[in-house]
Amino acid sequence: MINFITRYFTSLWAFITSPFRAIWRIIVRFFPPREFTVMDTPRGNVYTFRQSSFWRFTKFCGKIGLIIWATWSTYVFVYHRPLLQKRTQQLEEARTAHTRQMSDLQTYLKKYNDLTRELNVIDDKILNTKKLTDADREKLMDGRLKTWGELDFLRARLTEMFTNEDYAPEYTKLSELSAEYELTRAENEELKKRNAQVIENMQSVADADTQIVELVTKMTSEKTDELKANLKRINGSIANLGLSQNTLIKNANKYSSPLVGAAFNPLEIDKEMDPKYQKLADALELWHGLAKLKSILPIGAPVAKMRVTSNYGMRNDPFDGKPKKHRGIDFAGKIGTELMAVAPGRVVSAGERVGYGTTVEIDHGLGFSTLYAHLSQITVSRGDWVRPGTVVGLGGSSGRSTGPHLHYEIRYKGTPFDPTKFVKE
Region of residue 341 (left: phi > 0; alpha: psi -120 to 50; beta: else): beta
Between 90 and 410, the higher pLDDT residue: 410
Q: How confident is the model at residue 212 (pLDDT cuts 50, 70, 90)?
A: low
Task: Return the pLDDT at 48.
Answer: 78
Query: Which of 80-84, 190-194, 413-417 has maximum average pLDDT?
Result: 413-417
362 pLDDT exceeds 90? yes
Strands (DSSP E) contained in 92-162 are none
Q: How confident is the model at residue 207 (pLDDT cuts 50, 70, 90)?
A: low
Task: Return the pLDDT at 183.
Answer: 57
b/e map of 213-248 (b: 16 or more CB within 10 Å)?
eeeeeeebeebbeebeeebeebeebbeeeebebeeb
Q: What's this model's pTM, rounded to 2 decimal places?
A: 0.51
- DSSP per residue, 298-350: --S-SSSS--EEE-SEEEE-TTT--EEEE-SEEEE--TT-EEE-SS-EEEEEE
Contacts of 315 (CB under 8 A, 6+ apart): 323, 324, 325, 326
Crossing angle, helix 275-296 and helix 245-254, to 10 degrees? 90
Rounded to whole angstroms, the Cα distance separating 200 from 180 reads 30
Task: Return the pLDDT at 303.
Answer: 92
96 pLDDT exceeds 50? yes
Q: What is the pLDDT of residues 31-49, one digit of tens each?
A: 888 877 777 667 767 777 7
Task: Return the pLDDT at 396.
Answer: 92
Reported as half-sphere exposure (CB side, CA atoms, 13 A), residue 124 has a value of: 6
Across residues 350-377, what is the average pLDDT?
93
Q: How confident is the model at residue 380 (pLDDT cuts 50, 70, 90)?
A: very high
Beta bridge mates, 358:
352, 375
Lowest-pLDDT choice from 92-101, 202-211, 381-390: 202-211
Crossing angle, helix 53-75 and helix 12-30, to 10 degrees? 70
Say if residues 49 and 38 touch (Cβ distance below 8 Å). Answer: yes
Closest CA to 209 of 278, 266, 270, 276: 276
